[in-house]
Amino acid sequence: MHIKKLHIQNFRGIRNMELELHRQMNVFVGINGAGKSSVLDALGYLLRPPVHLLSGRSSDEDEFASQNPEANDFPDQEIHSGMQESYLGVSLAKTGLEGYGWDLRSSNAEQQKKHDGRAPNRTHFFFFDIARWKPYFILGDKIDCNVSLIVYYRARREVHNVPIAAWTDRNFRKQDAFVDVLAPIVDFKEFFEWFRNREDLENEERADEKNGKNEPDRWLEAIRKVIGKFCGALQDVRVRRRDPLRMVVTKNNNELRIEQLSDGEKCLLAMVGDLARRLAIANPSREKPLEGEGIVLIDEVDLHLHPTWQRTILPRLMESFPNCQFIVTTHSPQILGELEKNDGKIIPLHDGGNGIEILSGDFNVFGQTSDVILVDVMEASKRNDKIAEMLDEVFKAIDENNLDEARRLKNELEMKAQNIPEFAKIELLLHRKEKLGK
Protein backbone atom coordinates (compact mmCIF):
# COMPACT_ATOMS: atom_id res chain seq x y z
CA MET A 1 0.00 0.00 0.00
CA HIS A 2 1.24 3.49 -0.81
CA ILE A 3 -0.08 6.99 -1.41
CA LYS A 4 -0.32 7.90 -5.08
CA LYS A 5 -1.74 11.42 -5.03
CA LEU A 6 -2.24 14.16 -2.48
CA HIS A 7 -4.44 17.26 -2.83
CA ILE A 8 -4.39 20.12 -0.29
CA GLN A 9 -6.51 23.28 -0.42
CA ASN A 10 -6.56 26.18 2.06
CA PHE A 11 -4.64 24.29 4.72
CA ARG A 12 -2.37 26.55 6.79
CA GLY A 13 -0.14 28.38 4.29
CA ILE A 14 -1.05 26.10 1.37
CA ARG A 15 -3.68 27.54 -0.99
CA ASN A 16 -3.74 24.76 -3.57
CA MET A 17 -1.30 21.89 -3.99
CA GLU A 18 -1.60 18.69 -5.99
CA LEU A 19 1.23 16.22 -6.30
CA GLU A 20 2.00 12.61 -7.13
CA LEU A 21 4.21 10.76 -4.69
CA HIS A 22 6.93 8.22 -5.39
CA ARG A 23 6.32 4.62 -4.41
CA GLN A 24 9.32 4.50 -2.07
CA MET A 25 10.98 7.77 -1.01
CA ASN A 26 9.67 11.36 -1.04
CA VAL A 27 11.80 14.15 0.44
CA PHE A 28 10.33 17.61 1.06
CA VAL A 29 12.81 20.47 1.35
CA GLY A 30 12.52 24.22 1.82
CA ILE A 31 13.38 27.03 4.21
CA ASN A 32 11.61 27.34 7.56
CA GLY A 33 7.99 28.22 6.94
CA ALA A 34 7.93 26.75 3.43
CA GLY A 35 5.28 24.19 4.42
CA LYS A 36 7.21 20.92 4.83
CA SER A 37 5.65 20.00 8.17
CA SER A 38 2.26 21.24 6.94
CA VAL A 39 2.26 18.61 4.20
CA LEU A 40 3.08 15.85 6.70
CA ASP A 41 0.47 17.11 9.17
CA ALA A 42 -2.14 17.17 6.39
CA LEU A 43 -1.29 13.55 5.70
CA GLY A 44 -1.52 12.87 9.43
CA TYR A 45 -5.11 14.11 9.44
CA LEU A 46 -5.92 12.11 6.31
CA LEU A 47 -4.50 8.91 7.76
CA ARG A 48 -6.46 9.09 11.00
CA PRO A 49 -9.57 7.29 9.64
CA PRO A 50 -7.71 4.15 8.49
CA VAL A 51 -5.67 4.20 11.71
CA HIS A 52 -8.93 4.07 13.68
CA LEU A 53 -10.01 1.11 11.57
CA LEU A 54 -6.66 -0.64 11.84
CA SER A 55 -6.62 -0.23 15.59
CA GLY A 56 -9.90 -2.15 15.77
CA ARG A 57 -12.05 0.69 17.09
CA SER A 58 -14.88 -0.12 14.70
CA SER A 59 -15.84 -2.52 11.95
CA ASP A 60 -18.87 -0.60 10.72
CA GLU A 61 -18.89 2.71 8.87
CA ASP A 62 -21.91 4.17 10.69
CA GLU A 63 -20.72 3.00 14.06
CA PHE A 64 -17.28 4.45 13.33
CA ALA A 65 -18.71 7.86 12.43
CA SER A 66 -20.95 7.98 15.50
CA GLN A 67 -18.30 6.87 17.98
CA ASN A 68 -15.53 9.06 16.53
CA PRO A 69 -17.19 12.32 15.45
CA GLU A 70 -13.90 14.20 15.27
CA ALA A 71 -11.95 11.48 13.46
CA ASN A 72 -12.99 12.84 10.06
CA ASP A 73 -12.23 16.46 10.84
CA PHE A 74 -9.45 18.86 11.72
CA PRO A 75 -9.54 22.10 13.72
CA ASP A 76 -10.70 25.45 12.36
CA GLN A 77 -7.31 26.99 13.05
CA GLU A 78 -5.79 24.82 10.34
CA ILE A 79 -7.87 26.58 7.66
CA HIS A 80 -5.94 29.14 5.61
CA SER A 81 -6.51 32.67 6.93
CA GLY A 82 -9.61 34.29 5.45
CA MET A 83 -10.86 31.12 3.78
CA GLN A 84 -14.19 29.45 4.58
CA GLU A 85 -13.27 25.83 3.97
CA SER A 86 -10.22 23.59 3.81
CA TYR A 87 -9.96 20.39 1.80
CA LEU A 88 -7.59 17.42 2.04
CA GLY A 89 -7.74 14.49 -0.37
CA VAL A 90 -5.66 11.39 -0.90
CA SER A 91 -5.69 8.36 -3.19
CA LEU A 92 -3.89 5.11 -2.44
CA ALA A 93 -2.70 2.11 -4.38
CA LYS A 94 -2.81 -1.46 -3.16
CA THR A 95 -3.27 -4.70 -5.05
CA GLY A 96 -6.93 -4.91 -5.93
CA LEU A 97 -7.67 -1.42 -4.62
CA GLU A 98 -6.15 0.93 -7.20
CA GLY A 99 -7.81 4.31 -7.36
CA TYR A 100 -9.41 4.22 -3.92
CA GLY A 101 -9.13 7.12 -1.53
CA TRP A 102 -10.95 9.61 0.62
CA ASP A 103 -11.06 13.25 1.55
CA LEU A 104 -11.67 15.48 4.56
CA ARG A 105 -13.16 18.97 4.74
CA SER A 106 -13.42 21.46 7.54
CA SER A 107 -15.49 24.65 7.47
CA ASN A 108 -14.71 27.84 9.35
CA ALA A 109 -18.05 28.76 10.90
CA GLU A 110 -16.95 32.28 11.83
CA GLN A 111 -15.71 33.09 8.34
CA GLN A 112 -18.82 31.66 6.72
CA LYS A 113 -21.01 33.68 9.06
CA LYS A 114 -19.22 36.85 7.94
CA HIS A 115 -19.68 35.78 4.32
CA ASP A 116 -23.42 34.98 4.27
CA GLY A 117 -24.71 36.16 7.64
CA ARG A 118 -25.37 32.77 9.15
CA ALA A 119 -23.48 30.26 11.23
CA PRO A 120 -23.94 26.83 9.62
CA ASN A 121 -23.24 23.50 11.13
CA ARG A 122 -19.68 22.30 10.76
CA THR A 123 -19.39 20.05 7.72
CA HIS A 124 -17.73 16.64 7.86
CA PHE A 125 -17.26 14.75 4.64
CA PHE A 126 -15.73 11.30 4.71
CA PHE A 127 -15.66 9.15 1.58
CA PHE A 128 -14.23 5.75 2.39
CA ASP A 129 -15.37 2.51 0.77
CA ILE A 130 -15.40 0.42 3.93
CA ALA A 131 -16.87 -2.65 2.22
CA ARG A 132 -13.97 -2.89 -0.22
CA TRP A 133 -11.29 -2.11 2.38
CA LYS A 134 -12.55 -4.41 5.15
CA PRO A 135 -10.54 -7.46 4.07
CA TYR A 136 -7.37 -5.40 4.28
CA PHE A 137 -8.01 -3.23 7.32
CA ILE A 138 -10.47 -4.93 9.67
CA LEU A 139 -8.48 -7.61 11.47
CA GLY A 140 -11.11 -9.62 13.34
CA ASP A 141 -9.96 -13.12 14.18
CA LYS A 142 -7.63 -13.53 11.22
CA ILE A 143 -4.54 -14.09 13.32
CA ASP A 144 -2.19 -14.86 10.43
CA CYS A 145 -3.12 -12.00 8.10
CA ASN A 146 -0.59 -9.24 7.46
CA VAL A 147 -1.59 -5.59 7.69
CA SER A 148 -0.13 -2.44 6.13
CA LEU A 149 1.43 -0.10 8.70
CA ILE A 150 0.88 3.64 9.10
CA VAL A 151 3.14 5.69 11.41
CA TYR A 152 4.18 9.34 11.79
CA TYR A 153 7.48 10.22 13.52
CA ARG A 154 7.17 13.92 14.27
CA ALA A 155 9.95 16.40 14.93
CA ARG A 156 9.07 16.19 18.62
CA ARG A 157 10.51 12.72 19.15
CA GLU A 158 12.75 12.19 22.13
CA VAL A 159 14.02 9.49 24.45
CA HIS A 160 13.43 11.02 27.89
CA ASN A 161 13.77 7.73 29.73
CA VAL A 162 13.86 4.03 28.97
CA PRO A 163 10.88 2.38 30.72
CA ILE A 164 11.16 -1.40 30.57
CA ALA A 165 8.57 -2.56 33.10
CA ALA A 166 7.03 -5.84 31.95
CA TRP A 167 3.48 -5.81 30.60
CA THR A 168 1.00 -8.17 32.18
CA ASP A 169 -0.44 -9.10 28.75
CA ARG A 170 2.16 -10.84 26.62
CA ASN A 171 -0.18 -11.68 23.76
CA PHE A 172 0.56 -8.90 21.32
CA ARG A 173 -2.20 -8.21 18.83
CA LYS A 174 -1.82 -6.67 15.38
CA GLN A 175 -3.78 -3.70 16.69
CA ASP A 176 -0.86 -2.96 19.05
CA ALA A 177 1.21 -1.96 16.02
CA PHE A 178 -1.01 1.15 15.72
CA VAL A 179 -0.82 2.44 19.29
CA ASP A 180 0.09 6.16 19.19
CA VAL A 181 1.19 6.01 15.54
CA LEU A 182 -0.04 9.60 15.05
CA ALA A 183 0.76 10.92 18.53
CA PRO A 184 1.84 14.60 18.68
CA ILE A 185 4.89 13.65 20.76
CA VAL A 186 6.83 10.42 20.19
CA ASP A 187 8.53 9.02 23.30
CA PHE A 188 9.14 5.38 22.21
CA LYS A 189 7.85 4.05 25.54
CA GLU A 190 6.05 1.19 23.78
CA PHE A 191 9.22 0.07 22.03
CA PHE A 192 11.32 -0.37 25.16
CA GLU A 193 8.58 -2.14 27.12
CA TRP A 194 7.74 -4.42 24.19
CA PHE A 195 11.43 -5.28 23.72
CA ARG A 196 11.77 -6.35 27.36
CA ASN A 197 8.61 -8.48 27.18
CA ARG A 198 9.72 -10.13 23.96
CA GLU A 199 13.15 -10.86 25.42
CA ASP A 200 11.51 -12.43 28.48
CA LEU A 201 9.66 -14.81 26.16
CA GLU A 202 12.87 -15.54 24.28
CA ASN A 203 14.68 -16.40 27.51
CA GLU A 204 11.82 -18.60 28.72
CA GLU A 205 11.80 -20.63 25.52
CA ARG A 206 15.57 -21.10 25.67
CA ALA A 207 15.34 -22.22 29.30
CA ASP A 208 12.59 -24.76 28.60
CA GLU A 209 14.44 -28.08 28.26
CA LYS A 210 11.35 -29.84 26.86
CA ASN A 211 11.07 -27.24 24.13
CA GLY A 212 14.57 -27.97 22.87
CA LYS A 213 14.85 -24.56 21.20
CA ASN A 214 17.96 -22.45 21.43
CA GLU A 215 17.23 -20.02 18.64
CA PRO A 216 16.81 -16.27 19.08
CA ASP A 217 13.37 -14.72 18.75
CA ARG A 218 13.00 -13.93 15.03
CA TRP A 219 11.32 -10.59 15.71
CA LEU A 220 14.02 -9.48 18.14
CA GLU A 221 16.75 -10.75 15.84
CA ALA A 222 15.38 -8.63 13.00
CA ILE A 223 15.35 -5.58 15.26
CA ARG A 224 18.88 -6.22 16.54
CA LYS A 225 20.17 -6.49 12.99
CA VAL A 226 18.46 -3.34 11.77
CA ILE A 227 19.77 -1.34 14.75
CA GLY A 228 23.28 -2.59 14.00
CA LYS A 229 22.86 -1.56 10.35
CA PHE A 230 21.82 2.01 11.20
CA CYS A 231 24.04 2.51 14.24
CA GLY A 232 27.16 0.59 13.29
CA ALA A 233 28.98 1.05 16.60
CA LEU A 234 25.93 -0.07 18.62
CA GLN A 235 25.55 -3.83 18.95
CA ASP A 236 23.82 -6.42 21.13
CA VAL A 237 20.90 -4.40 22.50
CA ARG A 238 19.54 -6.28 25.53
CA VAL A 239 18.02 -5.98 29.01
CA ARG A 240 20.03 -6.53 32.18
CA ARG A 241 17.73 -7.90 34.88
CA ARG A 242 20.03 -7.68 37.87
CA ASP A 243 19.65 -4.51 39.91
CA PRO A 244 19.32 -2.04 38.53
CA LEU A 245 17.00 -3.29 35.78
CA ARG A 246 18.26 -1.54 32.65
CA MET A 247 18.53 -1.72 28.87
CA VAL A 248 22.11 -1.75 27.61
CA VAL A 249 24.05 -1.79 24.36
CA THR A 250 27.64 -2.60 23.44
CA LYS A 251 29.55 0.30 21.90
CA ASN A 252 33.21 -0.12 20.94
CA ASN A 253 33.46 -3.13 23.30
CA ASN A 254 32.02 -1.12 26.22
CA GLU A 255 28.64 -1.76 27.75
CA LEU A 256 26.53 1.39 28.11
CA ARG A 257 23.02 2.09 29.29
CA ILE A 258 20.76 3.45 26.56
CA GLU A 259 20.45 6.68 28.56
CA GLN A 260 24.23 7.19 28.25
CA LEU A 261 24.14 7.40 24.45
CA SER A 262 24.05 10.68 22.54
CA ASP A 263 20.72 12.18 21.51
CA GLY A 264 21.40 11.18 17.90
CA GLU A 265 22.19 7.58 18.82
CA LYS A 266 19.19 7.23 21.15
CA CYS A 267 16.75 8.82 18.73
CA LEU A 268 17.89 6.79 15.71
CA LEU A 269 18.04 3.51 17.67
CA ALA A 270 14.56 4.08 19.08
CA MET A 271 13.01 5.15 15.77
CA VAL A 272 14.29 2.28 13.62
CA GLY A 273 13.66 -0.16 16.47
CA ASP A 274 10.11 1.10 16.87
CA LEU A 275 9.42 0.91 13.13
CA ALA A 276 10.79 -2.63 13.00
CA ARG A 277 8.69 -3.60 16.04
CA ARG A 278 5.48 -2.25 14.51
CA LEU A 279 6.14 -4.03 11.21
CA ALA A 280 6.82 -7.28 13.04
CA ILE A 281 3.56 -7.08 15.00
CA ALA A 282 1.56 -6.13 11.90
CA ASN A 283 3.04 -8.96 9.82
CA PRO A 284 2.97 -12.09 12.00
CA SER A 285 2.96 -14.55 9.09
CA ARG A 286 5.85 -13.02 7.14
CA GLU A 287 9.13 -14.88 7.33
CA LYS A 288 10.83 -11.48 6.98
CA PRO A 289 8.56 -9.08 8.88
CA LEU A 290 10.58 -6.01 7.90
CA GLU A 291 9.42 -6.55 4.32
CA GLY A 292 5.89 -5.61 5.37
CA GLU A 293 4.11 -2.72 3.67
CA GLY A 294 3.59 0.66 5.25
CA ILE A 295 3.37 4.43 4.96
CA VAL A 296 5.99 6.12 7.13
CA LEU A 297 6.08 9.89 7.74
CA ILE A 298 9.25 11.34 9.29
CA ASP A 299 9.55 15.06 10.02
CA GLU A 300 13.19 16.23 10.08
CA VAL A 301 14.66 12.85 9.24
CA ASP A 302 18.13 14.34 9.94
CA LEU A 303 17.20 15.23 13.55
CA HIS A 304 20.26 15.02 15.85
CA LEU A 305 22.32 13.22 13.19
CA HIS A 306 25.95 13.99 12.30
CA PRO A 307 26.45 14.65 8.54
CA THR A 308 28.10 11.22 8.21
CA TRP A 309 24.94 9.51 9.45
CA GLN A 310 22.79 11.89 7.41
CA ARG A 311 24.38 10.50 4.24
CA THR A 312 23.35 6.95 5.10
CA ILE A 313 19.88 7.39 6.59
CA LEU A 314 17.79 7.28 3.36
CA PRO A 315 19.63 4.36 1.67
CA ARG A 316 19.42 2.34 4.88
CA LEU A 317 15.72 3.06 5.37
CA MET A 318 14.97 1.86 1.84
CA GLU A 319 17.22 -1.18 2.16
CA SER A 320 15.93 -2.22 5.59
CA PHE A 321 12.23 -1.57 4.91
CA PRO A 322 11.93 -2.17 1.14
CA ASN A 323 8.12 -2.20 0.94
CA CYS A 324 7.49 0.93 2.97
CA GLN A 325 6.74 4.29 1.40
CA PHE A 326 8.64 7.08 3.16
CA ILE A 327 7.53 10.71 3.17
CA VAL A 328 10.12 12.81 4.97
CA THR A 329 11.35 16.37 5.43
CA THR A 330 14.93 17.57 5.82
CA HIS A 331 17.24 20.58 5.99
CA SER A 332 20.30 18.52 5.07
CA PRO A 333 22.10 18.67 1.69
CA GLN A 334 23.92 15.45 2.66
CA ILE A 335 20.60 13.61 2.67
CA LEU A 336 19.55 14.95 -0.73
CA GLY A 337 22.88 14.02 -2.32
CA GLU A 338 22.36 10.33 -1.49
CA LEU A 339 18.97 9.87 -3.18
CA GLU A 340 19.17 8.22 -6.61
CA LYS A 341 16.58 9.33 -9.15
CA ASN A 342 14.93 5.91 -9.51
CA ASP A 343 14.62 5.47 -5.74
CA GLY A 344 12.58 8.55 -4.98
CA LYS A 345 11.94 12.22 -5.60
CA ILE A 346 12.93 15.53 -4.06
CA ILE A 347 10.05 17.99 -3.67
CA PRO A 348 11.20 21.58 -3.00
CA LEU A 349 8.60 23.87 -1.43
CA HIS A 350 8.62 27.67 -1.64
CA ASP A 351 6.47 30.47 -0.26
CA GLY A 352 6.39 33.10 -2.96
CA GLY A 353 3.87 35.35 -1.27
CA ASN A 354 0.75 33.85 -2.86
CA GLY A 355 0.86 30.68 -0.83
CA ILE A 356 3.18 27.72 -0.62
CA GLU A 357 3.94 26.05 -3.93
CA ILE A 358 6.11 23.30 -5.38
CA LEU A 359 9.14 24.52 -7.33
CA SER A 360 9.35 23.09 -10.83
CA GLY A 361 12.50 21.61 -12.33
CA ASP A 362 14.75 18.57 -12.25
CA PHE A 363 16.16 18.19 -8.76
CA ASN A 364 18.17 15.02 -9.26
CA VAL A 365 21.30 15.90 -7.27
CA PHE A 366 22.61 12.40 -6.55
CA GLY A 367 26.38 12.57 -6.05
CA GLN A 368 26.52 16.39 -6.03
CA THR A 369 28.54 18.22 -3.42
CA SER A 370 26.75 19.85 -0.51
CA ASP A 371 27.53 23.41 -1.62
CA VAL A 372 25.95 22.79 -5.04
CA ILE A 373 22.82 21.33 -3.41
CA LEU A 374 22.59 24.23 -0.97
CA VAL A 375 22.49 26.74 -3.83
CA ASP A 376 20.57 24.82 -6.50
CA VAL A 377 17.88 23.14 -4.37
CA MET A 378 17.78 24.62 -0.89
CA GLU A 379 17.88 28.36 -1.72
CA ALA A 380 20.83 28.85 0.62
CA SER A 381 24.21 30.51 0.29
CA LYS A 382 27.19 28.17 0.32
CA ARG A 383 29.20 30.55 2.51
CA ASN A 384 28.90 33.46 4.93
CA ASP A 385 27.22 36.47 3.26
CA LYS A 386 29.82 38.96 4.55
CA ILE A 387 32.73 36.90 3.20
CA ALA A 388 30.95 36.49 -0.14
CA GLU A 389 30.44 40.27 -0.32
CA MET A 390 34.11 40.95 0.44
CA LEU A 391 35.21 38.50 -2.26
CA ASP A 392 32.98 40.27 -4.77
CA GLU A 393 34.63 43.58 -3.86
CA VAL A 394 38.12 42.08 -4.41
CA PHE A 395 37.26 40.75 -7.88
CA LYS A 396 35.52 44.00 -8.80
CA ALA A 397 38.66 45.97 -7.89
CA ILE A 398 40.76 43.60 -10.03
CA ASP A 399 38.39 44.00 -13.00
CA GLU A 400 38.72 47.78 -12.69
CA ASN A 401 42.55 47.48 -12.53
CA ASN A 402 42.53 48.99 -9.05
CA LEU A 403 45.21 46.54 -7.95
CA ASP A 404 46.32 48.33 -4.77
CA GLU A 405 42.73 48.40 -3.51
CA ALA A 406 42.29 44.75 -4.49
CA ARG A 407 45.36 43.71 -2.52
CA ARG A 408 44.26 45.79 0.48
CA LEU A 409 40.84 44.15 0.42
CA LYS A 410 42.43 40.71 0.07
CA ASN A 411 44.68 41.34 3.08
CA GLU A 412 41.66 42.52 5.08
CA LEU A 413 39.77 39.39 4.08
CA GLU A 414 42.68 37.15 5.11
CA MET A 415 42.49 38.67 8.59
CA LYS A 416 38.92 37.37 8.88
CA ALA A 417 39.16 34.00 7.11
CA GLN A 418 41.91 31.64 6.09
CA ASN A 419 42.31 28.97 3.42
CA ILE A 420 39.56 30.30 1.16
CA PRO A 421 39.98 28.60 -2.27
CA GLU A 422 39.51 31.88 -4.15
CA PHE A 423 42.71 33.30 -2.63
CA ALA A 424 44.82 31.34 -5.13
CA LYS A 425 42.80 32.72 -8.06
CA ILE A 426 43.08 36.27 -6.68
CA GLU A 427 46.85 35.98 -6.38
CA LEU A 428 47.13 34.66 -9.92
CA LEU A 429 45.03 37.52 -11.33
CA LEU A 430 46.96 40.12 -9.36
CA HIS A 431 50.29 38.67 -10.48
CA ARG A 432 49.26 38.69 -14.16
CA LYS A 433 47.90 42.24 -14.08
CA GLU A 434 50.87 43.58 -12.16
CA LYS A 435 53.23 41.91 -14.65
CA LEU A 436 51.31 43.31 -17.62
CA GLY A 437 51.36 46.75 -16.02
CA LYS A 438 55.15 46.68 -15.80
pLDDT in tens, 49-61: 878 777 764 433 3
Residue 125 neighbours by CB under 8 Å, 6+ apart: 72, 103, 104, 105
pLDDT at 159: 85
Residues 249-258 have a mean pLDDT of 91
353 vs 98, more confident: 353
pLDDT at 33: 82
At 69, the pLDDT band (50, 70, 90 cuts) reads very low
Q: Above 80 in pLDDT, residue 248?
A: yes
Q: Which of 46-50, 129-133, 188-192 has the lowest mean pLDDT?
A: 129-133
> 421 in the Ramachandran plot: left (φ > 0), alpha (ψ -120 to 50) or beta?
alpha
Euclidean distance between CA atoms 76 and 304, whole angstroms: 33
Decide: 19 and 5 in contact? Cβ < 8 Å.
yes
pLDDT at 36: 93
Q: Above 90 in pLDDT, residue 129?
A: no
Give the burial string for 392-419 (b: 16+ CB within 10 Å, else e): eebeebbeeeeeeebbebbeebeeeeee
Q: Which of 175, 96, 85 is nearest to 129 (CA)?
A: 96
Per-residue CA distances from 126 to 26, 57, 69, 220, 403 (Å): 26, 17, 11, 39, 72
At 41, the pLDDT band (50, 70, 90 cuts) reads very high
pLDDT at 212: 60
pLDDT at 126: 38
Q: Which of 363, 360, 304 is nearest to 337 (CA)?
A: 363
At 394, the pLDDT band (50, 70, 90 cuts) reads confident
pLDDT at 27: 96
Euclidean distance between CA atoms 164 and 392, whole angstroms: 59
